[in-house]
Amino acid sequence: MVPLAGCFDRNEKGGATADLTLFGTIDIREVQLAFQDAGRIQRLNVDEGARVRQGQVVAELDPARYQMEAGRLAGEVAAQSQVVDRLHQGSRPQELEKVKASVIAAKANLREAELFLTRKQSLLVSNRISQQEIDSAGTRVQVLTAVLKIAEEEASLAIDGPRKEDIAAAEATLAALKAARDLAEKRLADTRLLAPADGVIRNRILEPGAMASPGAPVLTLALSNPLWARAYVSEPDLGKVQEGMRAELHTDTYPGKAYKGWVGFISSTAEFTPKTVETTELRTKLVYRARIFACDPQQELRLGMPVTVTLNTSKKIADAEGPAHCE
């Protein structure tokens, strides 16, 4: 059935007034509130019909597993931070002194072995020593020369400190652990379901103890702002209605009360598909959906409530100063 279109009120003398009357119903946007992760619902803090404010905690999951995961990753971040700090600081003074002492000791041992070899060689001239003893002394000099080389290389590495590649790898590992820790903390925070805006709880879908799945609705929230009426404008009256035009809304529940509002949206297409060929009479039956925003500080208007909307089409939009204010 085509919704009742707008019409002009007529005065007692039969002349048309500047007021355009539309009929419609209150329309409210709804939000399905759901957790981002799975878990057992620990508590629901609201019931159906409860009014909530933006940021209010409406439901909570059991946070135990998420707390343990966040704690584990926090410990790994702390441990890796110490590794990065140690690499940046390089070798400690005691370590440098140790490798320097190793070089000095290796030089002394090599010097002693060289002197011993020289003495052995002098005895060989007078045939007082065998060639085998000379060879053994020479081999010891070669071994101690290699030991000195190793000690000098270790001292050089200790003085230069860790490689840049090792530091970069440790820093990358730390960054990855921090990202994992931040994600764990975010998942822990998301065990508390917050209201995204002011509104009224319409449905309580799950109960405490139930398992919540990611994205599965737990509560349904009807937004209290913005609030509007869905009305329809007939094709002949379409040119008389403009966005920003002031309006008044009336209900049967409060017959003597008018709610201030304004036209917020007019559809650019007809609500119903017309026939391929329309006569003049059929074209007058086309309707266009309009959204009339309403001011309802006492929150008396309910979803689906029938309303009568009155528009003063004689008043210019410039005089209306744009959308009506609810003060």
**What pLDDT is recorded for position 91?**
65
- Alpha helix (H) residue ranges in the chain: 64-89, 93-125, 131-160, 164-189, 280-283, 317-320
Rounded distance between C-alpha atoms, residue 186 and residue 264, angstroms: 38
Q: What single string gives the DSSP state of each residue in 226-282?
A: S-EEEEEEEGGGGGG--TT-EEEEEESSSTT--EEEEEEEE-SS-SSPPPSS--HHH
Distance CA 227, CA 246 (A): 15
More confident residue, 146 or 193: 193
Domain 7-29+226-320 belongs to what architecture?
Answer: Beta Barrel (2.40)
Q: How large is the average pLDDT for residues 72-76?
A: 96
- Residue 219 near residue 234 (C-beta atoms within 8 A): no
235 vs 74, higher pLDDT: 74
Q: What is the pLDDT of residue 281?
A: 53
Whether residue 177 is predicted with pLDDT greater than 70 in this model: the reply is yes
Whole-number pLDDT of residue 98: 78
Distance CA 77, CA 174 (A): 6
Greater confidence, 205 or 10?
205
Query: What class, spelled out in words, does domain 70-183 have in CATH?
Result: mainly alpha
Q: Could you tell me the two tokens for 308?
A: 């009568």
Measured distance CA(41)–CA(61) in Å, rounded: 4
**Residue-range domain boundaries for the chain:** 7-29+226-320, 30-58+199-219, 70-183
